[in-house]
Amino acid sequence: MRKIVIIYASAGEGHKKAAFAIYEQLRKQSTSDTHVTLIDSLDYANAFFKFVYKMGYIFMVKYMSTIWGFCYYLLDNKFFFTLNQPFRILVNTLNTRKLVAFLKKENFDTCVSTHFLATEVVSRMKKEGKINARLITLITDYKSHLFWQTKQVDTYVVGSEDTKQNLISRGVDESIIKAYGIPIDPKFSIVKTKEEIVKKLRLADTKFTVLVMGGGFGVGPIKEIVTQLQQLKADFQILVVCGHNEDLFKDLSALKPKFSKPTTVFGFCNNMDEIMYLSDIMISKVGGMSSTESFVSDLIIVAISPIPGQEMRNAKFLLRNEAGFMIKKPQEAVAVVADLTSDETKMSRIKEKIAKIAKPNAAKDIANLALHEA
């Protein structure tokens, strides 16, 4: 019996979504002689560590993004990373004993990690001879960070050729890097028609659609952007996803009767595949997962004020590949929408660039990698 474990950390939705996408694909492809397990590494940590790891990240990116960015870039410097490493290893060792015990007991043949915490724990166990599992590490953003790198990783899976070259420049052997893409929910690849989605969501029609969202937490100048978009003369509809931001949902719902454009306001959505497929432009935060979902959905991204760190690097990836835009102020988003709605040739040119970086088969390719020995 071959045993595979997929490990994520519930600090940010992207790592979890990527893990679930691989898990679902493995369940489809694996035979009766393969057992697949999916776990959250933080479920095997003490309660305090789990709370701080999850809520500390959310608090920092939401309220102290400048400090977050400073720490992110500082610890991606080899000198400061090495200086901090003993402390980080000590903290992680003390708080992941249950995870170590579980992995040792189960003795998996392959570990697929979608978060650097799991990569570090498994790597240390391999180094100490406690397990002999093959370690596949999936980097869930479009540029790497030193936190992801260890000598015990057998294969890195990255989102693009850009990310692959980034790892090579950091000293990783090219032969162990696979640019398969970041895996997303298989439902994004299901063939749809705009007419059926419009009917399901009870919208007016399939006219040009602008999607505005701020990630799962609905952060950013969403209200200002939606309000200013009403002033444009072009004929389009607006979809707003507020995520878990209930105040934003209430404010926009109250303003809706005053809007000049057909505007539909959603809370947290489990059908983002349908909403993205229907849309032409997405004004949003740029996590690795949301960016990947938009590429597969043939959707142009306008990145809103990316926070320093991984979001800024994802935004720069967009710009470098001419696959989207980055804006700092709400009025800049309005200008981009005005430009694109009046220039179909420009829209087509950008979508051609998006098609070159979209990797819709990432989950399937990673599942194949996990199921077959390197």
> pLDDT tens digits for 274-310?
999 999 999 998 889 989 999 999 999 999 888 889 9
Mark the ranges of the chain whose per-residue pLDDT is less than 50.
374
For the chain, what's the residue count?
374
pLDDT at 218: 61
Only one residue has tokens 């309220």, namely 63
Same domain, 236 and 324: yes
Q: Minimal CA–CA distance to 210: which of 193, 222, 200?
A: 222
Report residue 76: phi and psi, to 5°: -95, 5
Q: Which two three-digit tokens encode residue 176?
A: 């162990």
Q: Whole-model pTM?
A: 0.91
Same domain, 194 and 303: yes
Same domain, 153 and 100: yes
Same domain, 220 and 313: yes
pLDDT at 110: 96
pLDDT at 216: 66
Same domain, 72 and 209: no
pLDDT at 147: 93
Same domain, 8 and 75: yes
Same domain, 168 and 150: yes
Give the range of the structural domain holding residue 162, as residue numbers without chain letter. Answer: 2-182+361-371
Same domain, 193 and 302: yes
pLDDT at 373: 66
Only one residue has tokens 């004929």, namely 235
Beta-strand pair 110-113/324-327? unpaired
Q: Are 179 and 163 in contact (CB under 8 A)?
A: yes
Number of domains in the chain: 2
pLDDT at 192: 83
Same domain, 37 and 177: yes
Same domain, 296 and 149: no
Can you spell out the DSSP letters for 90-134?
HHHHHH-HHHHHHHHHHT-SEEEESSHHHHHHHHHHHHTTS---E
Same domain, 197 and 297: yes
Report percent pLDDT > 90 for the chain.
65
Q: Minimal CA–CA distance to 273: which of 187, 371, 208?
A: 187
pLDDT at 287: 87
CA distances from 349 to 150, 194, 299, 320, 352 (A): 39, 22, 12, 15, 5
358 conformational bin, left if phi > 0, alpha if psi -120 to 50, beta if neither: beta
Same domain, 268 and 319: yes
> The domain spanning residue 19 has which CATH number?
3.40.50.2000
